[in-house]
Every structure is written in structure tokens, then in C-alpha cells.
Chain A
Amino acid sequence: MAAMIEIKSLRKEFGSFVAVDGVSFNVARGEVLGFLGPNGAGKSTTMKMITGFLAPTSGTAVVCGHDILRDPMKVKAAIGYLPEGAPAYPEMTPWSFLNFIGQIRGFRGADLRRRVDEAVQKTSLDSHLYVPIESLSKGYKRRVGLAQAIIHNPEVLIMDEPTDGLDPNQKHEVRKLIGEMAKDKAIILSTHILEEVEAICTRAVIIAAGKVIADGTPAQLAARSDRHNNITLRVQSRTAGNFKDHVSSVSGVSEVLMVREHDGVATWRIVPKSGAALITQVGALARQNNWEVLEIRLEQGRLDEVFRDLTADATAKAGREN
């Protein structure tokens, strides 16, 4: 797959402060890239450089074959962009606003009408087309922002916190829409909601203090968690008095930890030595000893933990807290 977005060592300084510090990654068609990072990590600044709002201090990006420095107009024409907070002219109605954006994007007459209709339909804006944007709810305002970003059916879609501040139903709607558009576009969306990344992103890039600190599929990143490959096991305590000794003696087990004991049920966590696969052995052991096992589960690792570990480190190192 050819990369539709190539980000090459982007760097942005505000005075002596380095907001983005050599960010590089590529996004291919069909990818939905979750751009993660704590507040102040430099996500918005990176997006503003790709979309041509801010000039990079150094580095560049190539969008659909056009360099952002040499061909900003072509880049802007190729991108659909939803800035943070979905800004729109408050006194305009969604209908007049979308017509304005459509005209700026070069559509006229029947073509313009069709595109406005399509964007309205995709974002379910029909019922609120003729009220001033300032009187719309947050959810509808966000839809207006999305509609303007997709009106020209862009190949590249960049969204800065598209679901921020929405209620769970609205979040679901927006994610569904993004999912539907995903297959023939290259999409970057920033977020700090990790469940969102697992729900819609095919890939995640984590940045902290302006630097990329992780890049992979959500599953790959989760696998970097300490908990990855751990076994969680719930057992009736009275049937398994000797649990800890038995399990500890299995080769490949690094640690056996009691998580809690409640109502006669013990929850254990078994930490393997790196790479060891233990679940069949532990299962067999349970059968041999007639432990009454209520649940046994292989942990995939948790993205939020990985996120916290990685970003806390990097942020602390950079001496930067927001």
C-alpha cells in the first residue's frame, strides 16, 4: 500500500519551546490512525502543520503526493479537516455553512446541491439544517464540522478529537460514521479515549512531549503491557489451599500474585517468564488437584496501562507537564 500521508521529521518550535520534535510516520489508504498522547503532547500542533495552518519549523509532510511546503493549495484541496472543537460561523445555518464550504471547494449548481445533501445525510443533520449553528447542541455542532470535512469526499481525513465532549450515543454515531468511511481513505484522528482506539483504529501512534514513542496496531501496543500474557484465574479457595506453591513450581512461572479473596473465591494472577505460554499447564494442574476453577483467562494487556507507562516516562524526561 502506498502511503497517502508521509510525515517526515516534523518539528515545531514556539519560541524556545519545542511542541513537536521530529515526528515521522506514514498513513496508507484504508488505515485509521489513532493519534494518542496526553494533553499538550503536540497532537493538535502536528495536525495543524499537516493541514497547512501552521508552518513547520523544519521537516515536511507529503499528502497524496503533494508536499505541504511546496504545494499547500493542493494539499488543502485533498484533505478534509475537522479542527479541535469543530469551529463554524455561529450565525450561519448548517445549510448555508455547508454551501459556503462547498463553493470554496469549487462545486457549483447541481453538483454542489448533491454534495451538500450527501454530507447532510451522512451526518444525519436533516432535522437541524435551518437553525443558526450557535443554537445547536454540541453533538450537532460536531456533525456540522464533520459534514464540512467530508463534503468533497476527501482522500485524506484529519480529525482533532472528533468525539470530545459528546455523550456515549453521539460518540457511537461518530465512530460508526468514521468506520463507514474508512476503507477508501487515509484517516488520522487524535483522541485520548483509548477505548475509541480499540473500537475504530487500525493503528495507533502515541506521542509524548512532541516525540513518537510507540507505533503499532492497538493489539501490538497492548501486548507491551506488563499484564500481557498474564493468566487471571478465579478459584474456590477451600478446594485450592496449596495453590500458590503448586503453581510457583511450574517452570516458566515468574510470580504468583493474590489479587483478592472474596466470599471464598480467590483471584490469582500468574505472571509468566517472558514468552512462556502457561495456560494449558495451569489448566492441567487444576484438574490434577481438583481445584474448582470458576474462570481462567489469558490477559491481552491493557492499552491504558501501556499508554500511562510510556507517556509518563517520556513526559517526565522532557520535564513537561500540562
Chain B
Amino acid sequence: MGHTLTIVKRELASYFITPVAYVFIVIFLFLTGIFTFYLGSFFERGMADLTPFFVFHPWLYLFLIPAISMRLWSEERKQGTIELLMTLPIPMYAMVLGKFLAAWLFTAIALALTFPLWITVNYLGTPDNGVILAGYIGSFMLAGAYLAIGAFISSISKNQVISFVGSVVVCLLFILAGFPVVLEFVSGLAPQWLINTISQFSFLTNFESLTKGIIDGRFIVYVLSMIGCFLFANAVMVEMKKAD
């Protein structure tokens, strides 16, 4: 646990040494604002809740999360620091987990900085704060799932741009997996059981219930097991690719 914590601290500090973190947070807040107020018709709906805010998160994260995760391992390999890291007495799980947790913590910070929105709805009306909390938890879990995918993809290539594009594509597949249109389209191409499984894994179907205020234990389990799987694949990939 000590090693994981040391890695988390180093990684998190690195986000804030460079302007990247601040730029990311500003863009994140700006975009959530736009989505919520313009596309989500926050005021026009006349309802005191944050549904229009959360509803766009799967799409917002689609581009923002890969922007964070792309450097996780790609950069480590490009700089050659992976050789340093992997010859220090740290177990593999601590490296993989430490990097992932730091990135997740960072998104948590960005998410927490949307608190003025929460204050606003509470000022304007009497929202169900339980529903809002469920939305935040769901959004955080979603970010974790995207990040785990992104971390895994970034361990495949030295090139950050490739890592970014690859993560966007894979995350998109996980979003689209829930759309009936998409399911119909692939229904001819794949066996039914596979399609059923894929639709089970969709972020959207799983995420929507959360924004409605239902903390579905299955969603949490689903995300955590996804994170587990992708981080395991991440470790395997790092081990395979480290010397290339």
C-alpha cells in the first residue's frame, strides 16, 4: 500500500506541475457549463435537478478522459522512465494501481469543482440532493471505467496520439453498445448471445439509471469489475511491451 500511495502522490503532483491540469479543469468546467445550460436547457426545464448536467457526461468524458489517460504509460515508455520504474523495488500492481488512482483522483477533483452548479440548484429550488449525489457517484464511476480503458490502451503504444484515438474509439464502442440502432445493425453479424452481452456492458444503459437517482449496486459492481479487468490487461500489456 505504501508504494501505491507514493506513486499516486508523484503522479498527482505531476498533473499540477504542468499547466495541463489547469487547462483540463478549465475546459471541463467550461464544457459542462455549455452542455448543461445550452444543450440541456437547464433553466427552461423549470426543474430543480442536475439531470441535464449528468446526461452529457458519457459524451464529455469520451474526449476528456482519454486526454488524461493517454500519457499514463505511453509517456513512461517514450521517456524511458519505465526502465527506471520497473527496476525499483515496486510490485507491478502498485504501479498500475497508483497511476490509475492518481488519474481517477484527478477527475474527482475536476468533478468536485462543479459544486457551484449544485449550489445554484439548491438556491433556485429544492432539489432531491440524494438524486444529485447518485448522479455524482455515477459520473465518478463512469470516469473510472473510461480511465481504466484509457490506461490499458496507453500501455499498448508509445505514441500519445495513438493512445488518445484508441481510447476514444474503445470508449465509444462501450457507449454505443447500448443503442438499439447499433444493436440491430450488428445483430446480423454476431451471434445473439454476444450482442446481449455487449448491450449489458453499455455505459449508457447502466449510467442512465444512476442519473435518475437509483444507485444500482450492480452498476458499481459492473464498473469496478471492468476497472479490474482493464487494469489487469494493463499490467499484462506493460509487462509485454516494456522493452520495445
A interface residue numbers (CB < 8 A to B): 48, 51-54, 73-74, 76-77, 79, 81, 83-85, 87-92, 96, 100-101, 103-106, 132, 148
29 A-B pairs with CB atoms under 8 Å apart are A48-B83, A51-B87, A53-B83, A53-B86, A53-B243, A54-B243, A73-B91, A74-B89, A76-B89, A77-B89, A81-B87, A83-B80, A83-B83, A83-B87, A84-B80, A85-B80, A87-B80, A87-B81, A87-B83, A88-B84, A89-B14, A89-B79, A89-B81, A91-B18, A92-B10, A92-B17, A100-B10, A104-B3, A132-B17
Provide the residues of chain B in CB contact with A104, threshold 8 Å. 3, 6, 88-90
The list of the 9 closest CB pairs from A to B, nearest first, reads A87-B80, A76-B89, A77-B89, A51-B87, A83-B83, A103-B6, A87-B81, A91-B17, A81-B87
Cross-chain contact of A90 among B13, B79, B86 (Cβ < 8 A): B79
Q: Tell me the bound Cα distance from A84 to B80 in angstroms.
A: 9
Chain B contacts for A88, CB-based, 8 A: 81, 84
* Residue total for B at the interface (Cβ-Cβ under 8 A): 21
Give 1 or 0 for each of B7-28: 1 = CB within 8 Å of chain A CB.
0001001100110000000000
Contacts of A96 in B (CB 8 A): 13
Q: How many Å from the CB of B165 to the closest CB on chain A?
A: 24
Question: Does A83 lie within 8 Å of B84, measured CB to CB?
Answer: yes
Cβ-based interface call for B242 (8 A) = yes
Q: Is the CB of B79 within 8 A of A76?
A: no
B63-90 residues with Cβ-Cβ distance < 8 A to A are 79-81, 83-84, 86-90
The complex places the Cα of A101 from the Cα of B85 at a distance, in Å, of: 9
Q: How far is the CA of A148 from the CA of B88 in the complex (A)?
A: 10
The residue on B at minimum CB distance from A91 is B17
Cβ of B80: which chain A residues have Cβ within 8 Å of it?
83-85, 87
Which of A51, A74, A148 gathers the greatest number of chain B CB atoms within 10 Å? Answer: A51
Is the beta-carbon distance between B88 and A105 smaller than 8 angstroms?
Answer: yes
Q: Which of A76, A91, A106 contacts B87 (CB 8 A)?
A: A76
In angstroms, Cα B87 to Cα A90, docked, is 18
Complex-state Cα separation, A52 to B80, whole angstroms: 15
**A73 proximity list for chain B (CB < 8 A):** 89, 91
List of A residues within 8 angstroms of B83 by Cβ: 48, 53, 83, 87
Q: Which residues of A have CB within 8 Å of B13?
A: 96
Contacting residues, chain B, for A84 (C-beta < 8 A): 80
Q: Is the CB of A48 within 8 A of B84?
A: no
Contact present for B89 and A105 (CB under 8 Å): yes
Interface string of B213-244 (1 = CB under 8 A from A): 00000000000000000000000000000110
B87 touches A87 (CB 8 A): no
Closest chain B residue to A100, Cβ basis: B10
- A53 x B88 contact (CB < 8 A): no
In the assembly, what is the distance between CA of A100 and CA of B2, in Å? 12
Best-buried of B13, B89, B90 by chain A (most CB within 10 Å): B89
Chain A residue nearest to B14 in the complex (CB): A91
Report the bound CA distance from A132 to B10 in whole Å. Answer: 14
The interface residues of chain B lying within 8 Å CB-to-CB of A105 are 88-89
